[in-house]
């Protein structure tokens, strides 16, 4: 799933993933991640080779919105099947601790969920920004609503949730494998926060570097130094 999103291509196993009746929430979420990768590939083909029409833009926005609804339904199901609360934030002097979770499993699940929502919101925002201004009022209202729901504020919120959750997964008792599972989420969040800088950016960059300092994942240090990878310009420029 991660490679599908990283390289903006449908996974070779997507048909297999779609044919499986997943019995756990993680499997269902990963299947939606594969669907998102395929959607992004189709969108890239449209932007690069297809006719740029209002009808085509509307079609892709509807696909994005349908997938967004699936994510929302998935989260509602997760809430119904999980301990309450799933996660909580610190208060008072402990606010800097960030977000805590009922279990490590739920922590990783929410990181993946917020990451997929962030990628989808960024994609929707980009499509909306490229729609011509001279469009029917009904379509314009639809676009403005989507921009409000998936614009800068929403992307910052999702990215902030991700970065505030990473320290929970870096606890010594969880080992290096837990830290490795944070890498993709952290990378997506950090690039989003660099596109929309805030006063917390420095703190969140330090949080990501902790993957290097505390867990020895050197690749995290490379990312913080803004070294170019095969997908860095794609994610930073196209979302």
- Give the C-alpha separation, 82 to 130, whole Å: 40
- Give the C-alpha separation, 147 to 141, whole Å: 10
- Give the C-alpha separation, 81 to 210, whole Å: 32
Q: What angle do CA 77, 239, 148 make, to 5 degrees?
A: 65
Q: Judge whether 48 and 234 are in contact, CB under 8 Å.
A: no
pLDDT tier at 234, thresholds 50, 70, 90: very low
| CA distance between the termini of the chain | 16
Which tokens hold the place of 216?
Answer: 């020895």
Q: Which helix (H) or strand (E) holds 100?
A: strand 99-101
pLDDT tier at 77, thresholds 50, 70, 90: very high
Percent of the chain with pLDDT over 70: 82
pLDDT digits (tens, 9 = 90+) for 156-168: 999 999 999 999 9
Query: Given a cut of 50, is residue 227 above it in pLDDT?
Result: no
- Give the C-alpha separation, 34 to 226, whole Å: 27
pLDDT digits (tens, 9 = 90+) for 94-153: 445 589 999 999 999 999 999 999 999 999 999 998 887 788 888 889 999 999 999 999
pLDDT digits (tens, 9 = 90+) for 171-217: 889 888 888 888 899 989 998 998 887 778 888 888 777 776 655 55
Domain boundary assignment for the chain: 2-169
Distance of CA 73 to the CA centre of its chain: 16
**pTM reported for the whole predicted model:** 0.84
């Amino acid at each position: 799933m991660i490679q599908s999103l990283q390289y903006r291509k449908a996974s070779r196993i997507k048909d297999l993933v779609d044919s499986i009746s997943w019995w756990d929430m993680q499997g269902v979420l990963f299947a939606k991640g594969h669907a998102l990768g395929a959607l992004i590939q189709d969108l890239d083909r449209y932007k690069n080779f297809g006719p740029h029409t209002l009808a085509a833009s509307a079609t892709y926005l509807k696909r994005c919105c349908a997938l967004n609804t699936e994510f929302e339904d998935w989260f509602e199901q997760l809430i119904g099947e999980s301990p309450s609360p799933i996660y909580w934030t610190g208060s008072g002097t402990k606010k800097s601790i960030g977000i805590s979770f009922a279990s490590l499993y739920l922590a990783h699940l929410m990181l993946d969920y917020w990451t997929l929502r962030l990628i989808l919101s960024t994609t929707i925002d980009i499509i909306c920004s490229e729609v011509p201004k001279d469009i029917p009022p009904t379509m314009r209202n639809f676009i403005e609503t989507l921009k409000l729901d998936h614009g800068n504020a929403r992307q910052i919120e999702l990215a902030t949730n991700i970065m505030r959750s990473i320290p929970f997964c870096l606890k010594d008792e969880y080992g290096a494998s837990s830290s490795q599972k944070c890498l993709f989420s952290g990378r997506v969040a950090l690039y989003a926060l660099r596109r929309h800088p805030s006063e917390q950016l420095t703190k969140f960059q330090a949080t990501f570097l902790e993957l290097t300092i505390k867990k020895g994942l050197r690749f995290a240090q490379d990312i913080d130094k803004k070294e170019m990878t095969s997908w860095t310009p794609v994610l930073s420029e196209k979302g």
